[in-house]
Amino acid sequence: QQKEERPPSPVIEVENLEEFVLQPAPQGVTVKCRVTRDKRGMDRGLYPTYYLHLDNDKKVFLLAGRKRKKSKTSNYLISIDPTDLSRGGENFIGKLRSNLMGTRFTVFDNGANPDRANADWSNVRQELSAVVYETNVLGFKGPRKMTVIIPGMNADCERVPIRPRNDNDGLLMRWQNRNMDNVIELHNKAPVWNDETQSYVLNFHGRVTHASVKNFQIVHSSDPDYIVMQFGRVADDAFTMDYNYPLCAVQAFAIALSSFDGKLACE
């Protein structure tokens, strides 16, 4: 059996990092990245730092993420500086927040809390994505079901800003109430049972080498062959993460971080 080669990422220019990581992938281009998990240091075992790089020769750094310690719910900060993962720093670019159960996540950019809105609301944070995990009847043994909710795109292929005034107006509530104006619903592709390996499998075309419950592909039900994002293990602490239009790097990285979260861990 021939081993599928991993084609390198196309040349991607990251001139302005902050702009790049919030911009949807160019249409027709798969942005191929690598996520590494760093568990070194005192409490990194509990609070590892995750780094996102472009998977090409230059290994351009894109984002870093780390769970905040004193938070009741899982709360990850996402930064464009690998050495500064503080909430107050100017490198803070987004955050991922879970509900108390650890089954639903919301991704925000670095805008202001609605309590601190200016008159025209333009400084208020945008919701970039939400992720809903369902446990299945097999407990955590079988494939997990993920639903990913993102803002819709306008005619210019730009993300429609969704700036909720409160939690009842966010992506999760819109999705729950089936109020899907300017909202796109994606989900993970169901793996297929393979008798030979006695496991559920997805075809990652050579981009994923280790079987793991954490491997997933995100698609839209109207076009299940168009992989919006895929994520999978290639070594103990290394994963490939590839994303396509309409996702941006912050959305994809936050979705990947949500899949690492403790309450869902099934390994």
Tens digits of per-residue pLDDT, 29-39?
Answer: 999 999 999 98
In this structure, is residue 7 part of a structural domain?
A: no
What is the H or E stretch that residue 192 is in? strand 192-194
- For residues 165-172, average pLDDT: 88
pTM (two decimals) = 0.88
In this structure, is residue 3 part of a structural domain?
A: no
**pLDDT over 90 for what percent of the chain?**
51
What domain range includes position 122? Answer: 29-260
DSSP SS3 for 130? strand
DSSP SS3 for 220? strand
Cα(2)–Cα(95) distance, integer angstroms: 41
Question: 181 with 149: CB under 8 angstroms?
Answer: no
Structure letter (DSSP) for residue 113: -
Q: List the one residue out of 51, 95, 49 whose CA is nearest residue 74.
A: 95
pLDDT band of 214, cuts 50, 70, 90: confident
Question: What confidence score (pLDDT) does residue 10 get?
Answer: 61
In this structure, is residue 267 part of a structural domain?
A: no
Domain at 215, CATH number? 3.20.90.10
How many domains, the chain?
Answer: 1
* The pLDDT of residue 197 is above 70: yes
Q: pLDDT digit string (tens) for 109-120?
A: 998 888 888 888
- For residues 65-75, average pLDDT: 84
- For residues 48-67, average pLDDT: 92
In this structure, is residue 98 part of a structural domain?
A: yes
Burial call 53-65: b when 16+ CB within 10 Å, e when fewer: bbbbeeebebbbb
Cα(265)–Cα(107) distance, integer angstroms: 20
Query: For residue 48, what are its two tokens?
Result: 């590892």
